[in-house]
């Protein structure tokens, strides 16, 4: 079978949707009834094989997976919406490079958007059908979305299945399209490379609008693991982190998957304050932070695995793992060995990295391929403050002793002769700045360490927005 259908899902799989007021449990039979409902709905509204469907859902839920499989089985093209999971992102200028969509399925709170004005107005001239449901109605009327009918599977192995825009981790976001066959082959090896087991309980905290989340987290876990937990994307804070920790402990979560390093940071801080979760492994789509070494040393968590570059190929390109075996020699720049199992994809904006087997992997020039693996390198962009050469890489070398990359950004203002460190990591302190100043023998002063909560989002997802940083510097540092 080279077509991804519900047959991919383990027969005895169980699903748990985590809501504010509790957890709802479902079986594969439940999921299949929801899949058939959504197939009937789409066919009734005129869906045709090859149509592009986008899903913008504020709450992670079993229905999210059902709609995804409904589009797979009908031969639709599932379009991952670039940073489109909530209404404020839908209204942004960088929502989706692949519009017009044929179908958009969207929902949020009716109290806030009684007419779903954001989605309807934004897509009115670009989409044939746009629907929305109040989430409370959705949750309380689950039986409304069930079907007992047998619906057709129209997809073939060579049909396009997914059209995604990459996150921008390795440069300008790229466009990738997969067929059922190539995505099936990638997913069927991902679980092995990342160590999924039949006894694993997986908690997925990541949007399925993220291409890597589908191929790295969702599909492989549905194929192998018995229990899959869905929780809503959320901004980490004390309350949500506490509840997340309690759920991980209560339901014996062994794999915690997320594209967002901030959520991992938040949960690890709770683990450090409480009883450890010694069987827990984090699988992330960003870089591994040096701060996670200590909880592994102390036996608080088992391992952190990074699938860097996953969205560039919709499969794990490099896998690095931090555990007790390599904790003394861990290099935060190490991305792992190139995965030899490589499948041809349709990718624009091409760059090349040559793998050991001769295959050429398309990335940006931020990777250094060596015999022992692949390392992240930064472009050598020299700046000057007066007559002092400032190499941001020297500064990053210091910062990486304290925090993961993409949690910080260096801002060098030659006009005002000022150097700033912007970060979304609240644990950074003056000692970091002292270490940076010492490498220049006191000739350079760091003007300020600025805490920017949203920094991680726009650095990782859309790269540094120079106008946004300039506006922030002007507002906070210069008062204008």
> Are 297 and 175 members of one domain?
yes
> Are 224 and 311 members of one domain?
yes
Is the pLDDT score of 135 beyond 70? no
| Whole-angstrom distance, CA of residue 29 vs CA of residue 12 | 9
pLDDT band at 61 (very low <50, low <70, confident <90, very high): confident
CATH number of the domain at 117, please: 3.40.50.12780
| Whole-angstrom distance, CA of residue 292 vs CA of residue 327 | 10
Is the pLDDT score of 110 beyond 50? no
Q: Which two tokens stand for residue 444?
A: 């350079």
> Are 360 and 429 members of one domain?
no
> Are 307 and 406 members of one domain?
no
Q: pLDDT digits over 147-172, tens only?
A: 999 899 999 999 999 887 666 555 55
| Of 341, 370, 399, the domain-final residue | 370
Written as one string, the DSSP assignment of 193-262 is HHT--TT-EEEEES-TTSHHIIIIIIHHHHHH-SEEEEE------HHHHHHHHHHHHHTT--EEEES-HH
- Residue at 375 is within a domain: no
> Are 351 and 407 members of one domain?
no
Q: Percent of the chain at pLDDT above 90?
A: 17
pLDDT score of 456: 57
State the helix-helix crossing angle for 238-250 and 261-273, rounded to 10 degrees.
Answer: 70
Nearest to 32 by CA among 149, 135, 144, 181: 149
Sheet of 418-423, strands arranged across? 408-413, 418-423, 446-451
| Whole-angstrom distance, CA of residue 380 vs CA of residue 406 | 17
Q: pLDDT digits over 322-363, tens only?
A: 999 999 888 888 888 766 554 555 554 555 655 555 656 555
Q: What is the mean pLDDT of the chain?
A: 75
Contact yes or no for 232/59 (Cβ under 8 A): yes
Q: Percent of the chain at pLDDT above 70?
A: 66
Nearest to 81 by CA among 388, 73, 67: 67
Q: Give the torsion sign (CA, 390, 392, 394, 396).
A: positive
Phi-psi region of 247 (alpha: psi -120 to 50; beta: other; left: phi over 0): alpha
| Whole-angstrom distance, CA of residue 392 vs CA of residue 13 | 48
> Are 182 and 252 members of one domain?
yes
> Are 314 and 456 members of one domain?
no
- Domain of 388? 383-476
Q: pLDDT digits over 237-294, tens only?
A: 667 778 788 888 888 899 998 876 777 888 888 899 999 999 999 998 878 888 899 9
Global confidence as pTM? 0.79
């Amino acid at each position: 079978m080279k077509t991804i259908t519900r047959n991919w899902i383990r027969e005895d799989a169980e699903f748990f949707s985590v809501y504010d007021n509790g957890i709802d449990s479902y079986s594969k039979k439940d999921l299949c009834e929801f899949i058939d409902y959504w197939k009937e709905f789409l066919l009734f509204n005129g869906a045709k094989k090859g149509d592009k469907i986008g899903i913008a859902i504020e709450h992670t839920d079993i229905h999210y997976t059902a709609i995804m499989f409904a589009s797979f089985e009908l031969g639709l093209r599932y379009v991952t919406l670039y940073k489109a999971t909530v209404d404020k992102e839908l209204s942004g200028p960088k929502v989706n490079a692949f519009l017009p969509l044929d179908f958009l399925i969207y929902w949020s709170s009716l109290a806030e958007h009684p007419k779903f004005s954001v989605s309807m107005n934004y897509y009115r001239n670009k989409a044939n059908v746009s629907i929305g449901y109040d989430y409370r109605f959705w949750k309380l009327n689950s039986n409304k979305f069930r079907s007992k009918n047998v619906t057709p599977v129209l997809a073939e192995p060579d049909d396009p299945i997914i059209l995604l825009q990459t996150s921008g981790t390795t440069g300008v976001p790229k466009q990738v399209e997969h067929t059922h066959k190539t995505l099936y082959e990638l997913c069927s090896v991902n679980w092995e490379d990342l160590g999924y087991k039949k006894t694993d309980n997986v908690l997925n905290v990541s949007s399925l609008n993220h291409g890597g989340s589908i191929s790295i987290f969702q599909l492989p876990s549905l194929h192998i693991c018995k229990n899959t937990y869905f929780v809503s994307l959320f901004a980490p804070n004390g309350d949500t982190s506490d509840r997340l920790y309690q759920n991980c402990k209560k339901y014996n979560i062994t794999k915690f998957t997320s594209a967002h390093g901030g959520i991992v940071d938040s949960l690890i801080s709770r683990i450090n304050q409480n009883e450890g979760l010694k069987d827990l492994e984090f699988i992330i789509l960003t870089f591994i932070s040096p701060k996670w070494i200590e909880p592994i040393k102390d036996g608080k968590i088992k391992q952190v695995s990074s699938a860097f570059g996953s969205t560039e190929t919709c499969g794990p390109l490099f896998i690095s793992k931090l555990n007790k075996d390599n904790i003394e020699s861990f290099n935060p720049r190490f991305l792992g060995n190139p995965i030899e199992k490589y499948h041809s994809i349709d990718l624009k904006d091409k760059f090349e990295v040559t793998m050991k087997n001769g295959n050429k992997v398309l990335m940006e020039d931020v990777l250094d391929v060596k015999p022992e693996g692949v390392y992240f390198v930064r472009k050598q962009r020299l700046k000057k403050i007066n007559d002092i050469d400032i190499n941001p890489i020297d500064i990053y070398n210091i910062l990486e002793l304290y925090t993961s990359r993409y949690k910080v950004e260096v801002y060098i203002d030659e006009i005002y002769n000022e150097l700033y460190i912007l970060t979304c990591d609240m644990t950074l302190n003056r000692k970091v700045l002292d270490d940076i100043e010492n490498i220049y023998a006191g000739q350079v002063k760091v003007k300020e360490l600025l805490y920017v909560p949203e920094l991680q989002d726009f650095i990782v997802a859309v790269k540094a927005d120079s106008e946004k940083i300039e506006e922030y510097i002007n507002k906070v540092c210069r008062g204008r």
